[in-house]
Amino acid sequence: MHAVETDADRAARQDIAEQAAAEKAIGGTIFTRAFQFFLVPLLIVGACVGVYALFTVTLTDQRTPADWVRELKESGPVARKHAAAQLAAELRRQVREKKVDATLVGPILSVFESLKAKDGDTRQTRALLARCLGLLGDTRATPAILEVLREEDVPEMKAACIDALGALRDPEAAPDLIKLLDHSSSIVRKYATFTLGSLAAPMKAGEPPSLPAALEPLKTRLRDARPEVQWNAAFVLAFYLRDASGAPVLRRMLDRKHVTEVVTSSYKEPGGVGDETAANAPAIIAHVMQMGCQGVAALGDRSFEEVLRGLAKDDPDMGVRDAAMKTVRLLEKK
């Protein structure tokens, strides 16, 4: 049982969780989650970003979302990917400016539903369109995304659908997500874990989980064979559900040596991201540790103070030091 949270406590916790909260507000993109959720293979991420970058550089005219929708409907595979990437970029801008064009839901959903083939080009376009539907935030898209989630056998495509469902925040997705917690792919398990945890969060502070049936399945992921899935489970249990079951895992997330060993050992593992992981290892390690700080802050567990003070003083990453210090200050008020 935790003490009643004061306004000062809430403000401090909000400061700690600022980055996570910001990502949650826009649905948590598949692009940002490549770092946030550790070792997400970049098959789709790289393809989508690459396509977007290529056409952003070469594009010289200014087109409207309606133009991109028309191109989605009328063009071939390469042009469709171009149009989907441009739509995703435009919708991200609309979300930032809080001016989302709801009239785009129907046309984009229609194209998404029409792409039934499973070739590589279509998959990449579907992943981008799933992202678009998530950004639009209209739960009319949930059934179509769930259908693709169920029929797809490529983990990265399932991850794209799960990501979109997380943005939609539709509890209708919960039964499918619970089933996917036992999927053979760790990519799928970690996406399902995080998204289910965010959907299960209470509607208001102090209320019970909005999806009580999710709690025990999420706890099973604390014993997952892959550390990154355990990390997601511990984080969502603490941050969204105020459940301390994952405290031992959070403690490992604050151990730089342990996190480094996990990250570096993945470079050549099947399902890892090889050179991408190696190049970005410092950022990945720091982010895992910052997530650990955020989880501890949400729990208000003072037994972490000593390790947090050590990180605040000596960790080589400035972001980790800052997160640890903020968490210590919050805990001191408990």
Three-class SS string for 34-71? HHHCCCCCCHHHHHHHHHHHHHHHHCCCCCCHHHHHHH
Tens of pLDDT, residues 230-279: 999 999 999 999 999 999 999 999 999 999 998 888 766 554 445 666 77
pLDDT at site 89 = 92
Lowest mean pLDDT of 118-122, 212-216, 221-225, name the range.
Answer: 118-122
Mean pLDDT of all residues in 140-163: 92
pLDDT at site 115 = 85
* Contacts of 7 by beta carbon, 8 Å cutoff, 6+ apart: none
* Reported pTM: 0.79
Check if CATH label 1.25.10 holds for domain 37-168.
yes
Q: In this predicted model, which residue has the larger pLDDT, 151 or 25?
A: 151
Q: Where in the chain is the domain with CATH 1.25.10?
A: 37-168
pLDDT at site 62 = 74
Q: Are 51 and 85 a contacting pair, CB within 8 Å?
A: yes
Q: Are 12 and 330 a contacting pair, CB within 8 Å?
A: yes
Confidence of residue 16 (pLDDT cuts 50, 70, 90): very low
